[in-house]
Amino acid sequence: MDNPSNGYGQGMPRSDGGRLSASRNVQHPHVQRPSREDLAPYGAANYTSHGSKRGHRYTQRRHIIAAAIAAVVVLLLIIPGAALVINGKSAMNDARTLMNQGSALVSQIQSGDVQGAQRTATNLSSIAKQLDDNVGSPLWAPLTLIPVYGEDIRQIRTLANVASKLSEQVLIPITQGLPSDGNARLFANGGFNVAVIQAILMPIGDASGVIQSCEQQINEFGDSHIAQLQGPMMSVKSLMAMLSEVSGFAGDLSHALPGILGVNEPRTYLIIACSEAELRSVGGFPGSTGLMTIDNGKMEIGALTAPALTFVQEEEKEEVLPLTDEERLLFGDRAGEYFYDAGYNPHFPRAAEIMKSIWDARDREPIDGILSVDPVFLQSVLGLIGAVTTSEGIVVDGTNAAEILMNSAYIMYSTESFEEETEDPRTASMLAGAKQNEFFSEIALLALDGFFGNIGSVDMLKGVQVLGESIASKHIYLWVTNPEEQALLEKLDAACAISMSEAEPELGVYLATTIGYKGNWYVQSKTTIGNSTKNADGSTSYQVMTQITNTLSPDSANELPRIITNPDQYGRDRIRSLGDMILDVYLFAPMGGAITDLRVEGTFAPEGFFDDMGTWYTRPGAESMTQASYNGRDAWYGVTMIEPLQSTTLTYTVTTSPQAVNELTVDTTPLGQE
């Protein structure tokens, strides 16, 4: 959280035009770049975090890791779900018993009562078998011939059969594999209970074929005609889809998670607290960092502090990663030279590699990966553990954390508020930035310590839900140095990686602040996928519209501090009014596809907008949006300028690969408000 008003200014000396791509020997022209001294306040203060990114407009990323951890809960809900749809004499009694036993089993697993859970699972399996025999008997067969409602009876019989199979082949093996030493809680001792996780995952992986067969049976169901069936049927379908997906990866997860969670040897991860108050393509500005160790599932977090000047990449160091020509064109030199700016690249695994190379260049403690969190995740955590109170008496909870951390903090601790203490504007800026960082770091540490330190008392269902939703919406994600583990994280969509799959087409729509300041809390963006046309080659073309809106009003802009309404002097020379936002816009076509017929409504920066900065920024092209490429994907980029209460609208056609199997989805940058 810092005041970037002294950030990328004019007249800042630098020895050369920046590092070259490894693939060419062309010299950049000599340009003025920010010095380390000038970047001091930028590093000390530029940060807050919050983002929201999914919902109806975004890709429904899979909750694989969290879902896998909670797969036992899914099983327990499927069985009562099947029971709910039964409406017949003795079958109804069996259904009620299943409901009660299922609830008891949830409680037993959460409390670590392994023997009780094993007995209950055996009872559940027996009752489910009895229920299956009951509704599968010849006495029920004539009911399937009833017009209209006969299909509902067939669904009931299938559900009973599925419940019987799952309880016998999955549920019982899970409870039998739970540790018998009385330590069977999923969350325990300040972290994850790895033995319990493996006990859950391995039977699910072993029963993958059965689970997927059951899902296929349930997916063949049409709409229920009996009103009482409709809700339970939808729930069961959703739960089975999740369980089926988890089962396909459960075996790999059971082998990879122990390493990630430090079972064989402790792991050290760099935590970055990112802020969508100043956008990066991958989320937000990484303004606070700290180290987290994981030893056999138990987590300990050190102090969170703002990145120091030593996060500037050393050009003379051979071990730092050079940018590719594509990256330099799309994201600018900044994405390879500054830890804070690596996230202009929306592919987090690549951004994380650059961050680590900068970290390593200063011979810091070795890290095994990077964990990113933001204020939306912190707000969700506070919703679980309760409010925290800062050293200054400010109460932050599960309803206000995002707004406080991404907006109010900059108002409370603005440069203007410190100008009374010093006559030097630069000193006031540095004091404000330091205070903003201190405030954010304190809240982040209170929330994370509260969550991991008391994770054993967190409700299992709610804790898993928060983790799953946060992973799916890119409010928490992980990159690890182990190649096999990282490949699995990307396969599970838990790594904030852009898609390279032609079969599952994904459109990328990413935003990043062009010149650093903290007004992006007021950005809203919506991408709508419209009509589609099937092409002769097997590809599909979709009509798409993206609208980016500056929700800040002119009146509010006049009242807010400078850190929110305008950037540094370099930026103030380019904006048209207070609150005028300058944003990089990136459109990534699906792998094997293309973006065509691109039309824009709004203002875009002209080609020479940043001529005095060389290749430091993403440089506008001759047209509003310029075509490029990234790792084999068709890409378009531009720099838009949006004054208060105005919008930029892009309409375009997205064509998938002929190999696409699924429909087009959208991945996008998480924002402060959705």
The pLDDT of residue 309 is: 38
Tell whether 658 is covered by a domain. Answer: yes
DSSP 656: -
Cα–Cα distance list, 138 to 134, 153, 155, 181, 268 (Å): 9, 13, 16, 46, 61
The β-bridge relationship of strands 647-655 and 594-601 is: antiparallel
Tell whether 119 is covered by a domain. Answer: yes
The pLDDT of residue 639 is: 97
Q: How many domains does the chain have?
A: 2
Tell whether 144 is covered by a domain. Answer: yes
DSSP 405: I
Tell whether 625 is covered by a domain. Answer: yes
| Secondary structure class of 540 (helix, strand, coil) | strand
Residue with tokens 């409700």: 459
Among 191, 216, 250, give the residue marking a domain's end. Answer: 250
Helix 89-111 vs helix 114-135: crossing angle, to nearest 10: 160
CB count in 10 Å sphere of residue 141 = 12
Tell whether 339 is covered by a domain. Answer: no
- The Cα angle at residue 13 between residues 11 and 19, in degrees rounded to 5: 125
The pLDDT of residue 260 is: 92
Residue 549 to residue 581: CA distance in whole angstroms: 10
* Length of the chain, in residues: 674
Among 250, 273, 295, give the residue marking a domain's end. Answer: 250
Range(s) of the domain holding residue 104? 64-250
Using alpha carbons, select from 576, 642, 561, 551 the residue that is nearest to residue 1. Answer: 561
Among 191, 220, 250, give the residue marking a domain's end. Answer: 250
- Token output for 365: 């403690």
Phi, psi (degrees; rounded to nearest 5) at 188: -155, 150
Phi, psi (degrees; rounded to nearest 5) at 666: -125, 130
Residue 89 to residue 132: CA distance in whole angstroms: 14
Tell whether 161 is covered by a domain. Answer: yes
The pLDDT of residue 49 is: 29
The β-bridge relationship of strands 191-192 and 187-188 is: antiparallel
- Token output for 470: 């946060």
Tell whether 88 is covered by a domain. Answer: yes
The pLDDT of residue 143 is: 54
- Token output for 380: 């969700």
Tell whether 630 is covered by a domain. Answer: yes
What's the average pLDDT block by block, 10 residues per block, for the chain (674 residues)? 34 27 30 34 29 35 45 48 48 62 71 81 79 65 57 69 81 81 67 81 85 82 62 66 77 86 92 93 89 90 68 53 92 90 95 91 88 92 90 92 92 87 82 86 86 70 78 90 92 88 96 92 96 97 98 94 82 87 97 97 94 89 96 96 97 98 95 82
Model pTM score: 0.80
